[in-house]
Amino acid sequence: MSPYKKIILISVSCTMVYFVAGQVGETGASFSNQEETMVQITAAFVFPSTIKSLEENIHDKVEEIIQSFNHMPQDSSAKSLLKLKSDKEMLLKQYDHLIIKWSELQHDVKEVKQYASQAKISNKSEEFLFVTEAFNEIEKIISGIEYEKKLLEIEETLTALDVSISILEEKEAVEMEKMNGETQDIEGEHSNIPVQESPIQNDQIEVDSSEESN
């Protein structure tokens, strides 16, 4: 083989080796970048937008619960039976609605609490400080609701309404019985009045009798 051909073959071989090495290097770098990106994504177990969305949901539910507490019927005196029954029906619906809303609220709070716990044990806890701050703020808001106390007040109001309704129903029953008794007495008095014969009819009978004797 000619020395020139050997030189050409060697050059081509070196070029191919260099090209392949370059491609392998780029592929390795690409995989390395992808792996680093995946690690960063895994480390970010929660994003600020997620916490913000949960905070907004919690604030909305808290506001709705507080508004419901403020619109509860309080005084059950000096009301008609119909109004008392209407208040009771409305209060029962609000009571059930509050229990549902409180359950939904606790679900959101629990989710934020789990994120806060992860943030504390994270190697980059400072980066997730917004999570713990959000949870601390949410805890303050929840503690200010006094849910258990308010729920007890609703139950006491329902009991008071039941008592007032029972009293008025009994009163109406007594009044109705009294009215029925008076009606029966009046009817009895009418039935005992003697029927008086008309004098005109008696006179007519005597005249008729005298005419027949003649």
Contact assessment for residue 154 and residue 84, using Cβ atoms and an 8 Å cutoff: no
Mark whether 93 and 18 lie in a shared domain.
no
- Which pLDDT does position 120 carry in this prediction? 84
Residue 183 CB-half CA count within 13 A: 6
DSSP string, 99-155: HHHHHHHHHHHHHHHHHHHHHHHSTTGGGGHHHHHHHHHHHHHHHTT-HHHHHHHHH
Residue 25 covered by a domain? yes
- Which pLDDT does position 178 carry in this prediction? 85
Mark whether 25 and 82 lie in a shared domain.
no
Quickly count: other Cβ atoms within 10 Å of residue 120's Cβ: 10
Contact assessment for residue 28 and residue 101, using Cβ atoms and an 8 Å cutoff: no
Mark whether 34 and 51 lie in a shared domain.
no
- Which pLDDT does position 65 carry in this prediction? 92
* pLDDT beyond 80 at 124: no
Candidate from 9-23, 30-44, 60-74, 120-134 with smallest mean pLDDT: 30-44
Mark whether 135 and 149 lie in a shared domain.
yes
Check which CATH number belongs to the domain holding 62 and give it: 1.20.58
The candidate with the shortest Cα–Cα distance to 157, out of 68, 84, 65, 97, is 84
Q: What is the average pLDDT across 132-155? A: 91
Mark whether 59 and 161 lie in a shared domain.
yes
38 pLDDT band, cuts 50/70/90, is: very low
Candidate from 69-83, 133-147, 154-168 with smallest mean pLDDT: 69-83
* pLDDT beyond 80 at 58: yes
182 pLDDT band, cuts 50/70/90, is: low
77: left (phi over 0), alpha (psi -120 to 50) or beta: beta
Amino acid (1-letter code) at residue 6: K
Mark whether 103 and 120 lie in a shared domain.
yes
Per-residue model confidence as pLDDT tens digits over 101-123: 999 999 999 999 999 998 888 76
Q: Alpha-carbon torsion 39, 40, 43, 46, what sign? A: negative
Distance (Å, whole) CA 100 – CA 64: 12
> For residue 76, what are the contacts with CB-CB under 8 A and spacing of at least 6?
84, 87, 157, 160, 161, 163, 164
Quickly count: other Cβ atoms within 10 Å of residue 86's Cβ: 13
Domain span at residue 114 reads 45-188
Residue 53 CB-half CA count within 13 A: 6
> For residue 169, what are the contacts with CB-CB under 8 A and spacing of at least 6?
81
- Which pLDDT does position 163 carry in this prediction? 93
Mark whether 50 and 39 lie in a shared domain.
no
Per-residue model confidence as pLDDT tens digits over 185-205: 565 555 555 555 555 555 554
